[in-house]
Structure 1
Amino acid sequence: MKVAQLTKYNKKNPQILISDASLPPLGPYDLLIQVKAAGVNPLDNLIARGDLKLVVPYKLPQTLGNEFVGLVQQTGKNVTNFKVGDRVYGRNPLNNIGAFAEELVVNQSAVAHVPEYLTNQEAATVPLTALTAIQALELLQAKPGQTLFISGGTGSFGAMAIPIAVAKGLKVITSGSPQNQQRVEQLGVNKFIDYTKEDYTKVLSGIDLVIDTLGGKETIKQMAILRPHGKLVSLRGMPNKEFAKRMKMSKFKQGLFSLASRSIEKEAAKKKIDYQFLFVTANGQQLAAANKILVENQIHPTVGKIFSLNEVSQAMEKVQQGHNKGKVIIDMSKN
Structure 2
Amino acid sequence: MKAVVYEKYGAPDVLELREIEKPVPQDNEILVKVYATTVTAGDWRMRKADPFLVRIVNGIFKPSRTKILGFELAGVVEEAGKDVKTFKRGDSVFAFCGFKFGAYAEYKCLPIDQRLALKPSNMTFEEAAAVPIGALTALQFLKSAGVKKGNQVLIYGASGSVGTFAIQIARYYGATVTAVCSTANVDLVKSLGADQVIDYTKEDFTKLDSKFDIVFDAVGKTSKSACKNLLKPDAKYISVTGQPKANPDDMQVLKEMIEAGKLKAVIDRKYTLGQIREAHTYVESFRKKGNVVVSVSERSSALTA
Q: In structure 2, how many angstroms separate the alpha carbons of the residues matched to 1:14 and 1:284?
A: 37
Corresponding residue for residue 260 of structure 2: 296
* Aligned counterparts of 1:9 and 1:196: Cα–Cα separation in 2: 34
Instruction: Tell me how far 1:141 sits from its aligned partner.
Output: 3.4
Between the aligned partners of 1:302 and 1:76, the Cα distance in structure 2 is 34
Query: Contact 1:66/1:98 (CA < 8 Å) preserved in 2?
Result: yes
| Conservation of the 8 A alpha-carbon contact between 1:8 and 1:14 | no
Q: Which moved more, 1:144-153 or 1:41-50?
A: 144-153
Q: Are 2:273 and 1:309 aligned?
A: yes
Residue of structure 1 aligned with 2:161, choices 140, 156, 160:
156
For 1:230, give the aligned amino acid: A
Question: Is this contact kept in 2: 1:6–1:14, CA < 8 A?
Answer: no
1:141 aligns with 2:140: no
- Give a deviation string over 1:212-238, Cα, whole Å, max 9, x none: 123345664234322344322222x4x
1:66 aligned onto 2:71? yes
Q: Which amino acid aligns with 2:243?
A: L
Alignment match, 1:45? 44
Alpha-carbon separation, structure 1, partners of 2:271 and 2:41:
16
TM-score (norm 1): 0.77
Residues in 2 aligned to 1:284 and 1:34: alpha-carbon distance in whole angstroms: 23
Q: How does 1:77-92 map to 2 (within 5 A)?
A: 77-92=82-97
For 1:158 and 1:40, how far apart are their aligned partners in 2? 16
1:301/1:161 CA distance change after superposition, 3 Å: same
SS, match of residue 324 in structure 1: coil
- Contact 1:112/1:285, CA 8 A, preserved across alignment: no
* Same amino acid, percent of matched pairs: 30
3-state secondary structure, aligned to 1:163: helix
Matches within 5 A, 1:1-335: 1-10=1-10, 12=11, 15-52=14-51, 54=53, 57-59=57-59, 60-61=63-64, 62-94=67-99, 96-109=100-113, 110-177=115-182, 180-217=185-222, 220-235=225-240, 237=241, 277-278=242-243, 285-297=249-261, 299-333=263-297
- Cα shift at 1:18: 2.0
Distance, in Å, in 1 between the alignment partners of 2:244 and 2:5 is 22
TM-score by length of 2: 0.84
In angstroms, what is the RMSD of aligned CA positions? Answer: 2.6
Please say if residues 35 and 104 of structure 1, whose CA atoms lie closer than 8 Å, have aligned partners that are also in contact. yes
- Residues 253-287 of structure 1, C-alpha deviation per residue, up to 9 Å, x if partnerless? xxxxxxxxxxxxxxxxxxxxxxxx13797x76211
> Does 17-26 or 103-112 show the bigger shift?
17-26
CA–CA separation in structure 1 for the residues paired with 2:168 and 2:103? 26
Deviations 1:183-221 (A, max 9, x none): 534543332223344321222443221211233456642
CA contact (8 A) 2:41 2:283 kept: yes
The residue identity in structure 1 corresponding to 2:26 is G
SS at match of 2:226: helix
Q: Of Structure 1 and Structure 2, which has the larger fraction of its residues in helix?
A: 1
Shift in Å, 1:122: 1.4
Give distance in 2, aligned partners of 1:152 and 1:204.
Answer: 19
Structure 1 portions without partners, runs of 5+: 238-276
> After the TM superposition, which of the residue ranges 110-119 and 17-26 deviates more from structure 2?
17-26
Three-state SS of the structure 2 residue aligned to 1:89 is strand
Report Cα offsets for 1:1-27 as digits up to 9, x if no partner: 1111221123x5672222233345422
The letter for the 2-side match of 1:105 is C
Unaligned 5+ residue runs, structure 2? Answer: 299-305
